[in-house]
Amino acid sequence: MKTIITLLGLLLSFSSHAKRPNILFIFTDDHGYQAISSYGSNRNKTPNIDRIAAEGMRFENCFVTNAICGPSRAVILTGKHSHLNGFMTNGNRFDGTQQTFPKLLRKKGYQTAIFGKWHLKTDPTGFDNWKVLLGQGPYYNPPMKSEEGTKKIEGYTTDIITDLTLEWLKDGRNKDEPFMLMCQHKAPHRNWQPGPDHLNLYDDVEMPYPETFWDDYKGRTAAASTQAMTVANHLSANDLKLNQPRNLTTSQLAAWNAAYEPKNKAFKEAKLEGKERIKWQYQRYVKDYLRCVTSVDDNIGRLLKYLDESGLAENTIVIYSSDQGWYLGEHGWYDKRWMYEESFRTPLVVRWPGTIKPGSVNNDFVSNLDFAQTFLDIAGVSKIPEPMQGHSLVPIFKGNTPNNWRKSFYYHYYEFPGAHSVRRHYGVRKDDYKLIHFYNLNAWELFDLKKDPNELKSVYSEPNYQDIVKDLKSELGQLRKKYKVPEDTRPVQRGNKKPKNQQNGKKNK
Ligand code: CA
């Protein structure tokens, strides 16, 4: 009798394992929602990302906890805020011995693999197979590291990362077990080198300018002070493709020069100045960025096609997201980092046949903090040894947002001094308002998001908003307590005095 029960148990466990869905996580670096047509882009088309959204769910309010590359990845792997996973800035090294969701999935019988950008300094842990770029990685002919060592691969990096992903799907895995596969692109990260297929895309188009392109940063102390990320003044000759790229093969360089030399010649002859020069820089920057996005979208199409042809599509959840949002000229900027909407919000579209209703749009506050627990929930991992700080999105996928789902969101950016000189800040976002504290400047900002969705006017000091300021400060304090933000993660800026406490003498605000 005992043997029969054991056999039955094994059979049941085998059948439930066999049915468990696969997870394909497609991830980019610095892809703002403004550059996705299903999010309403007025500048480009992304038919394959749109297809995931049309056949699944688009999230309108997916926020990141810290809008910068490495830290976002560490949050996703651990399900914990930066101050607990230890990767607070791009200068840190990821502690790969800590609990991560791929390790827990592996224990539960999932095969795990990652191809592409890793960007956490230490080698990946928790993966059956991995092949990753070294640091940022180049757009062409990238050296890639695996357990066998580092080898340069010739070609365009976005295509190569997809090739590696497809090879693993076809021949690299055990087809009897479910998988969690991360396909992580370098694109469209700076310096936006387009692929050989799209070097002349948009040549005859004038890209529209964002409403806030000529922002003067009035009333916003941090934006008006040290930041160095403007399209007007902070793009380099390499960014603008006024120099020839290095490390291209002879044929790649010939194609590059055929595309850029005539454009650069026309630019030099025009001798543009002032606003006309800034507009030229914007056009060059945005077009190159969008060309890189087109390659990403093409390659997502290749993955979706393979899932269809192989019969995997039905039982594979496809997720598309980026490590944070991006400024595509909004506020006159490129780059990310700020808690302002463009970088704080990141794209998230998810397709799960039979579970997510096609064409759904969700407005709940979700986050990269939730991804780990979502994947664990999908895989049936009910016990997580060390608590994580997000929530599974599976109920939301099913159209059943829990009644107690979060209505406010905590953010914290740490990388100052650092690239682009954006000051450290933390803050809280609610449906209608956002409160930000640039703590080393002793500067607060409050935005009325219904009246001022572009966040151009801080109403922090206006008498009518004092009750809201009080409520949001209280909420901020509660969130910091809930997430166990220690006081000593409020770093002291080099050369400045420790900031005075701004809030009624309470220490943890
Ligand atoms: Ca990034």
DSSP letters along 109-168, please? T-EEEEEE---SSSPP-S-SEEEEESTT--SBS-EEEETTEEEE--SBHHHHHHHHHHHI
Q: What are phi and psi of 275, to 5 degrees?
A: -60, -35
What spacing in Å lies between the alpha carbon of 284 and ligand 1's midpoint?
20
- The string of pLDDT tens digits covering residues 278-311 is 999 999 999 999 999 999 999 999 999 999 999 9
* DSSP H or E segment with residue 208: none
Percent with pLDDT over 90 in the chain? 91
Average pLDDT over residues 111-129: 98
Does the domain at 24-399 match CATH 3.40.1440.10? Answer given as: no
DSSP state for residue 448 in the 8-state scheme: E
Distance separating alpha carbons of residues 283 and 275, to the nearest angstrom: 12
- What pLDDT is recorded for position 320? 99
What spacing in Å lies between the alpha carbon of 292 and ligand 1's midpoint?
14
Band (508; pLDDT cuts 50, 70, 90)? very low
Q: Does pLDDT of 412 surpass 70?
A: yes
Residues contacting residue 326 through CB under 8 Å, at least 6 positions apart = 30, 31, 32, 34, 35, 334, 335, 336, 342, 343
Closest alpha carbon to 156 in 45, 30, 302: 302
Give residues whose Cβ lies within 5 Å of ion ligand 1. 29-30, 69, 323
Average pLDDT over residues 36-53: 98
Q: Does pLDDT of 70 surpass 50?
A: yes
DSSP state for residue 333 in the 8-state scheme: B
The rounded mean pLDDT for the chain is: 93
- The string of pLDDT tens digits covering residues 228-279 is 999 999 999 999 999 999 999 999 999 999 999 999 999 999 999 999 999 9
Percent with pLDDT over 70 in the chain? 92
Query: Is 189 in contact with 136 (CB distance < 8 Å)?
Result: yes
Band (502; pLDDT cuts 50, 70, 90)? very low
What spacing in Å lies between the alpha carbon of 418 and ligand 1's midpoint?
15
What spacing in Å lies between the alpha carbon of 322 and ligand 1's midpoint?
7
What spacing in Å lies between the alpha carbon of 320 and ligand 1's midpoint?
14
Does the domain at 412-505 match CATH 3.30.1120.10? Answer given as: yes
- The string of pLDDT tens digits covering residues 339-356 is 999 999 999 999 999 999
What spacing in Å lies between the alpha carbon of 127 and ligand 1's midpoint?
22
Query: Is 412 in contact with 87 (CB distance < 8 Å)?
Result: no
What spacing in Å lies between the alpha carbon of 189 and ligand 1's midpoint?
7
CA-CA distances (angstroms) from residue 178 to 19, 106, 358, 490?
8, 10, 23, 42
What spacing in Å lies between the alpha carbon of 119 and ligand 1's midpoint?
10
Peptide bond into 417 cis (omega under 30): yes
Average pLDDT over residues 455-472: 98
List the domain boundaries for the chain: 24-399, 412-505
What spacing in Å lies between the alpha carbon of 465 and ligand 1's midpoint?
34
What spacing in Å lies between the alpha carbon of 223 and ligand 1's midpoint?
20
Determine if the pTM surpasses 0.75.
Answer: yes
Band (489; pLDDT cuts 50, 70, 90)? low
What spacing in Å lies between the alpha carbon of 67 and ligand 1's midpoint?
7
What spacing in Å lies between the alpha carbon of 253 and ligand 1's midpoint?
27
Q: Does pLDDT of 507 surpass 50?
A: no
- What pLDDT is recorded for position 486? 87
- The string of pLDDT tens digits covering residues 172-190 is 999 999 999 999 999 999 9
180-189, 433-442, 491-500, range with the lowest pLDDT = 491-500
- What pLDDT is recorded for position 496? 36
Residues contacting residue 487 through CB under 8 Å, at least 6 positions apart = 507, 508
What spacing in Å lies between the alpha carbon of 313 and ligand 1's midpoint?
28
What spacing in Å lies between the alpha carbon of 315 and ligand 1's midpoint?
29
What spacing in Å lies between the alpha carbon of 10 and ligand 1's midpoint?
44
Which residue do the tokens 């439930």 mark?
Answer: 16
Distance separating alpha carbons of residues 235 and 233, to the nearest angstrom: 6
- What pLDDT is recorded for position 2? 54
- What pLDDT is recorded for position 324? 98
